[in-house]
Amino acid sequence: MQLASPNLDGLSSFVTFLLSLLATSWKVLLLALFLIWSVTVSTRCGKQSKECPPLQFAPPVESSSPKQAPSNGSDIPPIYHRPFSQISDRPTSKSSSQAQNDPIMKVGKKQDRRMKQPYDAFLVLDVEATCEEGTGFEWPNEIIEWPVCLMRWKDKSDQGKACQLETVDEFRSFVKPTWRPQLSQFCTDLTGITQAQVNSAPNFQKVLKMFARFLAYHGLIDPKSGRPIQRFCWCSDGPFDVRDFVVKQCFISKAPMPLWLKGDVLDVRRVVSVWAVASSNPETTTRPSARSHIRSLNIPQQLQALGLPAFQGRLHSGIDDTRNIARVMTELAHRGVRLEPKTSINPNRRWNWMGKPGEVLEHTLMFQ
């Protein structure tokens, strides 16, 4: 096949037309080049923005997705302040383990252990009394030491809530026995009280008057009538001190029980024993009844049950026993236990050795 030769005249005419057009429309050419360049640049920027988004200077919008933990190895961001609108009672997106390690969260979750306490003051009493070897609580014991720790709240609120109890003063006096003034050797060995100490001591009636002045000085009773003017209660290790020893002594001394001595007693031994049972069975929803059998804990055992240091002082020294019972009271208050008396006392209780007021029927003691 033979190819046709091109038409050179037509091609030269077309080139001449383009040159003349470019000579007259160079502005149009520049505009076209600028548009091509703009489109190219914007396309490249769009691809880069997908790979690395630009910084945002506007306030960030709160996202519903969980926040990432900071990369500085701490659970606490550099600024731990949330706007008021973001504060909520609902749990945050942090894991429970992170929240427990967060010291600020610990302060926020700190429980208020204060319990509403109905009494303003407590009189902790642990008397010592005459005793014979082999005798029990049926014996006509006479009080030979009267020690009391006065305790008050440090942090009681206007709503009556408190958990910090402290000893603010003490009272102590030995007491001279009158029915059998001579102490047995067993009694001296047990209590550490000597014959010389009780010989020089006031009798029970005088000790009651001295103690009434102590109560009046602290604003607990009216100095003239002896009526309580503040809410206070007696506390002892078991019910024995007031239920047995005080009632017996008032009979032997022919001293009517003062108004400030009457009323129910807080049995600290019972409270700690019930608390120990409840603590060992946290799933129990009901408390033991008043008549249920619970292991009775003495003072050293109470201290141990509460995780406190061992007994301080001499066992069966009235003032040392009283101080350690006060330590137990302080710990019970700190643990949020409601402190109130629940042991009733009968000031007219009688024993078979009682005759007329102040009279001990000694012929009945052989059967004790």
Residues serving a catalytic function are 128, 316
Helix axes 318-334, 268-280, angle to 10 degrees: 40
Strands (E) across the chain are located at 115-116, 121-125, 128-129, 143-153, 161-162, 165-174, 232-236, 265-267
Assign 3-class secondary structure to 91-148.
Answer: CCCCCHHHHHHCHHHHHHHCCCCCEECCCCEEEEECCEECCCCCCCCCCCCCEEEEEE
Torsion of CA 303, 267, 273, 325, to 10 degrees: 0
Q: How far is the C-alpha of 297 from the C-alpha of 245, rounded, in Å?
A: 20
Amino acid, single-letter form, for residue 146: W
Q: Which two tokens stand for residue 305?
A: 């049950």
Torsion of CA 312, 316, 319, 322, to 10 degrees: 70
Neighbours of 158 (CB within 10 A): 5
Q: How far is the C-alpha of 208 from the C-alpha of 356, rounded, in Å?
A: 22
Judge whether 315 and 322 are in contact, CB under 8 Å.
Answer: no
Task: Look at the alpha carbons of 290, 295, 297, 301 in this order and tell me if their dihedral is positive or negative.
Answer: negative
Q: How far is the C-alpha of 307 from the C-alpha of 90, rounded, in Å?
A: 36
